[in-house]
Amino acid sequence: QDSPLKAVQMLWVNLIMDTFASLALATEPPTEALLLRKPYGRDKPLISRTMLKNILGHAAYQLVIIFSLLFIGAWTCGTPGEVLAEGCH
């Protein structure tokens, strides 16, 4: 089975996506408080409780939106076969 993207195309996609992420992280200047704080210990968790709440909350929000669009679209337009044959009413 042939891959839809060749190896060189995958490398270009990876390069572009990593470039945008690194620019987003590199453009925020460090604050004085961040530079003066002590480093976290080795036994501290990588993801704090606040970060975990934000991640789970955002995941729940995205699931609600995507399932709402999925089921409201199906309820409004019908099955994909009906949409192709008749269009969305």
Per-residue confidence (pLDDT) for residue 50, from 0 to 100: 95
Identify the pLDDT of residue 82.
Answer: 67
Backbone angles phi, psi at 88, to 5 degrees: -85, 130
pLDDT at position 80 is 63
CB-neighbour burial class of residue 65 (10 A; exposed 0-12, middle 13-18, buried 19+) = exposed
Q: What is the pTM of this model?
A: 0.50
How much is the pLDDT for 62? 96
Low-confidence ranges of the chain (pLDDT < 70): 1, 78-85, 87-89
According to the model, what pLDDT value does residue 89 have? 60
CB count within 10 Å of CB 77 equals 14
